[in-house]
Amino acid sequence: MAVRLKTSEKLELISNLGAMISAGIPLLESVEALLEGATSRSKTVLEALKSDLESGKTIATSFSRFQESFDAVDINLVRGGEEAGNLEEVLRDLAETLRREIEFNRRVKGALAYPAFISVVFVGIMIVILTFVMPRIAQVFTKLNVVIPLPTRFLIASSNIFINYWPAVISISALIIAGLLALYHYRRRQLIGIVSSLPYVSKLFREIDLVRFTRSLSLLLSSGIPISKSLELSQEVLVRPELIKLIEFSRKEIIKGKRLTDSFKTQKEILPPIFIRIVDAGERSGKLEESFQEAANYFDGRVSDTIKTITTLLEPVILVTVGIVVGGIMISIIAPIYQLVGQIQIR
């Protein structure tokens, strides 16, 4: 079913369901209780879950009907918890992972808030100039027969198009925005893959991939899922194609009986040395899931620092760009006025 839960809605459903099961409330009764205060999207999922439970199906089977909301990692974790009889523990761990994911996304969005605000303000300034400033100045220049420079003529022409054909301008802009949103919705993975391959951001996206991969793998291993299956499932959260190929290669090497560290060492240009050392220590100590959680925490901090650095560098670049554009517009407006003043002084 095409129902996409927000991460916050998914967290609420998982955490509430886990809390009620831990309290000893029967599963079907827990779902019925959650239905009472559910939102429209969550209610659709819970109603399907209730129907499936009444038909004798499992929670994992019901969640698999909503692959827009629950990925392969979620479904297999719940399935493993149902089979092992520790569903409440699995749901609690999954809820904690979702909380960390929400906090991680919040930090990323918070870092990008200021550049986005500046961009919106800049667009607003441009609309005001084209709508209110340029038409009045154009009338003055026309009446005084001033020779208008090329940049000023371009601004006047843009203003005329914006004012005289504003329905078409708004419609085209709306279509472009709607197209981009639709592209992101239906081709999100491919779009992120294209963006992540750009210079300067590829390293950041690779570290974000490592955070999600190590966090998912730690959760899968701690739930008792074999490492080969965990590696296969963890590929679902990756974006960078070279990491997906590496994990698939590592999975095949594990099946052959080799160590995970050995396969990682063959790709040192992709994986940071500290990551390989953490995994090696986990394999030697037999606490691989804990090592992956430590790696997730480490790269989580690195991503936060990288984003702060990028936004710190990006802010002055945006301000300088806006200043140059606005300054160019003001010069295009003032230049004909100086020319007019010069003609008056000559006369």
Q: Which of the pair, 185 or 226, is modelled with greater confidence?
A: 226
pLDDT of amino acid 196? 65
Same domain, 249 and 300: yes
Residue 90 sits in the same domain as residue 141 = no
Residue 128: pLDDT band with limits 50, 70, 90: confident
Model pLDDT, residue 149: 78
Q: Are residues 142 and 263 in the same domain?
A: yes
Across 111-249, the runs of DSSP E, i.e. the strands, are none
Of 98, 124, 159, the last residue of a domain is 98
Q: Is residue 140 situated within a structural domain?
A: yes
Residue 90 maps to which CATH number?
1.20.81.30
Boundary-marking domain end, from 40, 71, 98: 98
CA distance 208 to 219: 17
> 34 lies in which domain range?
7-98
Whole-number pLDDT of residue 71? 84
| 103 part of a folded domain | no
> Do 335 and 208 reside in the same domain of the chain?
yes
Question: pLDDT tens across 259-278, in order?
Answer: 888 888 887 778 888 888 98
Do you know the residue count of the chain? 347
Q: Sorting pLDDT into bands at 50, 70 and 90, what band is 1?
A: low
27 three-class SS: helix
Q: pLDDT confidence of 345, banded at 50, 70, 90?
A: low
Are 119 and 318 spatial neighbours (Cβ–Cβ below 8 Å)?
yes
pTM, two decimal places = 0.71
**Domain finish residue from 47, 68, 98:** 98
For 47-60, write each residue's pLDDT tens digit: 999 998 899 899 98
Predicted pLDDT of residue 146 = 67
Report the 10 Å Cβ neighbour count for 91: 24
Please state the φ and ψ torsions of residue 336, each to the nearest 5 degrees. -65, -30
Confidence band for 344, pLDDT divided at 50, 70 and 90: low
Whether 24 and 62 share a structural domain: yes
Which band of pLDDT confidence, cut at 50, 70 and 90, is reported for residue 150?
Answer: confident
Section 161-171 average pLDDT: 85
Which of the four pLDDT bands, split at 50, 70 and 90, describes residue 118?
confident
Domain assignment present for residue 129? The answer is: yes
Q: What is the pLDDT of residue 195?
A: 67
Which residue would you say has higher pLDDT here, 339 or 45? 45
- Residue 338 or residue 177, greater confidence: 177
Q: Is residue 104 part of a domain?
A: no
pLDDT at 167: 85
Residues 62 and 235: their CA atoms lie apart, in Å, by 22
Residue 312 confidence class, pLDDT cut points 50, 70, 90: confident
Question: Is residue 208 within 8 Å of 303, Cβ to Cβ?
Answer: yes
Question: Could you tell me if 216 and 250 lie in one domain?
Answer: yes
Query: In this structure, are 195 and 171 located in the same domain?
Result: yes
Domain annotation covers residue 18: yes
Q: Is 212 in the same domain as 324?
A: yes
Q: How many domains does the chain fold into?
A: 2
pLDDT of residue 293: 86
User: What is the model's pLDDT at position 189?
Assistant: 65
Mean predicted confidence (pLDDT) in 101-124:
80
Q: Are residues 184 and 312 in the same domain?
A: yes
Residue 335 has pLDDT above 80, yes or no: no
Answer yes or no: is pLDDT of 236 > 60: yes
In a domain, 108, yes or no: no
Q: Give SS3 for 200.
A: coil
Please state the rounded mean pLDDT for residues 224-229.
86
In a shared domain, residues 94 and 124 = no
**Residue 276 domain-assigned (yes or no):** yes
Confidence at residue 227, expressed as pLDDT on a 0 to 100 scale? 87
If asked whether residues 191 and 310 sit together in one domain, one would say yes
Calculate the average pLDDT of the chain. Answer: 83
Say if residue 21's pLDDT is above 70: yes
* Residue among 77, 62, 70, 71 at smallest CA distance from 27: 62
Residue 112 is predicted with a pLDDT of 73
Note whether residue 221 is domain-resident. Answer: yes
8 Å CB contact between 229 and 216: no
Q: Which is more confidently placed, 62 or 38?
A: 62
Q: Does 133 share its domain with 275?
A: yes
